[in-house]
Amino acid sequence: MIPWYQNLPLWVTFLPLLGALFLLFVPKGSRRTFELGALAFTVADFLLSLPLWFQYNRHDGGVQWAFSADWIPSIGVKFSVGMDGISLVLLLLTTLLGFIVVWCSFTAITERHKEYYIWLLVMQFSMLGVFITQDMFQFYLFWELMLVPMYFLIAIWGGPQKLYAAIKLFLYTLAGSVLMLVAILAIYFLQLKVTGKADMSIASFQAMAGVIAHQSHTFQILLALAFFLGFAIKVPMFPFHTWLPDAHVEAPTAGSVVLAGVLLKMGTYGFVRFLLPIAPGATKELMPYFMTLALIGVIYGALVAMIQKDMKKLVAYSSVSHLGLCMLGLFALNPNGITGGILQMLNHGISTSALFLIVGIIYERRHTRLIAEYGGLSKTMPLYATVFLIMTMSSIGLPGLNGFIGEFAILQGAFQAAPWLAVLATTGIILGAAYMLWLYQRAMFGPISETNAKMADLNLREIAYFVPLLAAAFWIGLYPKPLLNVLEAPVEKLVRQITPTYYDQVDLTKGQKEAAKVGMAGMPAPAEAETHEEAEPSHGGGH
Residues 6+ apart with CB under 8 A from 113: 31, 34, 35
Can you tell me whether residue 68 is helix, strand or coil? Answer: strand
Nearest to 431 by CA among 312, 300, 235: 300
Identified binder of other proteins from the candidate list 69, 460, 518, 525, rule CB under 8 A: 525
Identified binder of other proteins from the candidate list 245, 270, 341, 360, rule CB under 8 A: 245
Q: Which stretch binds other proteins (CB under 8 A): 19-27, 94-102, 276-284, 481-489?
A: 481-489
Distance CA 538, CA 499 (A): 10
Binding mask 249-288 for other proteins (x = CB under 8 A): ----------------------------------------
Distance CA 260, CA 112 (A): 24
Segment 409 to 448, residues that bind other proteins, using CB under 8 A? 409, 411-413, 415-416, 419, 422-423, 426, 429-431, 433-434, 437-438, 441, 444-448
**Type of residue found at 373:** E
Q: Which stretch binds other proteins (CB under 8 A): 128-136, 148-156, 184-192, 391-399?
A: 391-399
Closest CB to other proteins among residues 289, 479: 479
Q: Which stretch binds other proteins (CB under 8 A): 102-110, 216-224, 283-291, 394-402?
A: 394-402
Segment 344 to 363, residues that bind other proteins, using CB under 8 A? none
Identified binder of other proteins from the candidate list 96, 393, 486, 489, rule CB under 8 A: 393
Identified binder of other proteins from the candidate list 29, 479, 501, 504, rule CB under 8 A: 479
Contact between 244 and 316 under an 8 Å Cβ cutoff? The reply is: yes
Identified binder of other proteins from the candidate list 307, 456, 467, 515, rule CB under 8 A: 307
Distance CA 448, CA 303 (A): 28
Residues comprising the chain, all counted: 543
By CB under 8 A, tell whether 334 contacts other proteins.
Answer: yes
By CB under 8 A, tell whether 541 contacts other proteins.
Answer: no
Residue 314 has φ and ψ, to the nearest 5°, of: -60, -50
Q: Which stretch binds other proteins (CB under 8 A): 76-84, 104-112, 183-191, 332-340?
A: 332-340
Task: Annotate 474-493 with b (16+ C-beta within 10 A) or e (fewer).
Answer: eebbeebeebbebbbbbbbb
Residue 70 has φ and ψ, to the nearest 5°, of: -65, 145
Distance CA 126, CA 14 (A): 9
Identified binder of other proteins from the candidate list 29, 523, 534, 537, rule CB under 8 A: 523
Identified binder of other proteins from the candidate list 408, 455, 457, 508, rule CB under 8 A: 408
In the complex, what is the shortest distance from the CB of residue 372 to other proteins, in angstroms, rounded to a whole number?
Answer: 14
Distance CA 368, CA 118 (A): 28
Distance CA 199, CA 75 (A): 7
By CB under 8 A, tell whether 511 contacts other proteins.
Answer: no
DSSP string, 320-379: HHHHHHHHHHHHT-SHHHHHHHHHHHHHHHHHHHHHHHHHHHHHHHHS--BGGG---HHH
Closest CB to other proteins among residues 47, 515: 515
Residues making contact with other proteins (CB under 8 A): 168, 172, 239, 242, 245, 300, 303-307, 334-336, 339-340, 376, 378-379, 386, 393, 398-400, 404-405, 408-409, 411-413, 415-416, 419, 422-423, 426, 429-431, 433-434, 437-438, 441, 444-448, 479-481, 484-485, 488, 491, 506, 513, 520-521, 523, 525-526, 528-529, 532-533, 536, 539
